[in-house]
C-alpha cells in the first residue's frame, strides 16, 4: 500500500501528535527518552510509511521539505513539536559511510528501518577552553578523546545519545547498501552550533547550520568594509 503526499503527512502526524500528547506528563529527560525508546520502533517498522516517505523525498514533493537545512547535508526535518519538546529527523548514509565525530545539543533516540546502524562512542579525556569562534566554523581548540564503544544495531532497534560532551559519537552505515536513520531529538540547549572532534590533531571545531553561518560571514564582511 502506498500513501499519497497528503496522507503521508497525515500518517506521520498521527504518530507525532500521539507522541506529543503522551509525553505531556513526562517532564524528566529520562522518562521522555524511555518513552521514545518504545515509541520510535513502531514507526521504524511501519514499512508502507517508510517506503512512501522515501518515494516522496525522491520525487521532491513539498513534504518533506528538503530545502530546509540542518547541521548536516544529509538531514531532513520531518516534524517539530509545537512546544519545542522534540523533533523528528531523517539522515541518509551511503554504504560504509560514517559521520565526523561530533556532539549534539540535545538527547537523541535513533534507529534504522532497514539495514543496520553503526554507533561509535567516545569519551572526552582532556580539553582546554571551548572552541573559539572565527565565523567560519570555529578556530580549533585542544581536546583529547578516546573510543569507548562501537555497536551495530539491527533494523527496528534504537540507541540513545546524550547531549554535549557526554554524547560524543559518530553514526553511520556498516553495511554496503544505503540506509536511512530516523531520530527523535529532545529539546536542545541554547547553543547555535555543535562541536566536531578530530582525534588525529586533537582539535575541536564548531559547525553552524548554513543559515546561521551565512549571517555570520556577512557580518564579518560588513565589519571589514567599515
Task: Give me the residue spans of the domains in the chain.
Answer: 5-225
Confidence band for 137, pLDDT divided at 50, 70 and 90: very low
Q: Are strands 158-161 and 141-154 parallel, antiparallel or unpaired?
A: unpaired
Do residues 32 and 186 touch, judged by C-beta distance below 8 A? Answer: yes
- Give the C-alpha separation, 99 to 72, whole Å: 9
Spatial separation of the C-alpha atoms in residues 134 and 217, rounded to whole Å: 9
- What pLDDT digit, counting tens, does each position of 75-121 carry? 999 999 999 999 999 999 999 999 999 999 999 999 999 999 999 99
Q: Which residue has the higher pLDDT, 214 or 23?
A: 23
Terminal Cα distance for the chain, rounded:
61
Alpha helices (runs of H) in the chain, residue ranges in sequence order:
5-22, 29-44, 47-59, 210-225
Residue 190's pLDDT band, with cuts at 50, 70 and 90, is confident
Residue 131 pLDDT > 80: no
Looking at the whole model, is its pTM more than 0.85? Answer: yes
Q: What is the pLDDT of residue 129?
A: 52
Question: β-strands 101-102, 75-80: how paired?
Answer: unpaired
Q: Helix, strand, or coil here: 4?
A: coil
**Strand, helix or coil at 146?**
strand
| Residues 46-70: tens digit of each pLDDT | 999 999 999 999 999 999 999 887 8
Pairing type for strands 101-102 and 86-93 reads: unpaired
Would you state the CATH architecture of domain 5-225? Sandwich (2.60)
Residue 27 has pLDDT above 80, yes or no: yes
The residue whose grid cell reads 520531518 is: 78
**According to the model, what pLDDT value does residue 133 have?**
45
Maximal C-alpha separation, the chain? 61
Amino acid at each position: 500500500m502506498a500513501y499519497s503526499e497528503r496522507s503521508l503527512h497525515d500518517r506521520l502526524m498521527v504518530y507525532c501528535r500521539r507522541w506529543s500528547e503522551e509525553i505531556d506528563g513526562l517532564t524528566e529527560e529520562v522518562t521522555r527518552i524511555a518513552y521514545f525508546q518504545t515509541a520510535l520502533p513502531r514507526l521504524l517498522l511501519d514499512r508502507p510509511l517508510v517506503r512512501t516517505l522515501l518515494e516522496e523525498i525522491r520525487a521532491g514533493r513539498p513534504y518533506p521539505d528538503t530545502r530546509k537545512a540542518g547541521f548536516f547535508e544529509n538531514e531532513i526535518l520531518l516534524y517539530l513539536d509545537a512546544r519545542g519538546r522534540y523533533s523528528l529527523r531523517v539522515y541518509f548514509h551511503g554504504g560504509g559511510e560514517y559521520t565526523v565525530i561530533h556532539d549534539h545539543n540535545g538527547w537523541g533516540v535513533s534507529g534504522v528501518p532497514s539495514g543496520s546502524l553503526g554507533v561509535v562512542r567516545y569519551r572526552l579525556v582532556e580539553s582546554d577552553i571551548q572552541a573559539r569562534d572565527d565565523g567560519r566554523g570555529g578556530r580549533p581548540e585542544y581536546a583529547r578523546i578516546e573510543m569507548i564503544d562501537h555497536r551495530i544495531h539491527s533494523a527496528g532497534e534504537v540507541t540513545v545519545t546524550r547531549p554535549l560532551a557526554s554524547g560524543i559519537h559518530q553514526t553511520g552505515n556498516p553495511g554496503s547498501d544505503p540506509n536511512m536513520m530516523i531520530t527523535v531529538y529532545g529539546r536542545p540547549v541554547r547553543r547555535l552550533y555543535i562541536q566536531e572532534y578530530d582525534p588525529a590533531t586533537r582539535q575541536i571545531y564548531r559547525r553552524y547550520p548554513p543559515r546561521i553561518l551565512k549571517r555570520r560571514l556577512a557580518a564579518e564582511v560588513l565589519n571589514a568594509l567599515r
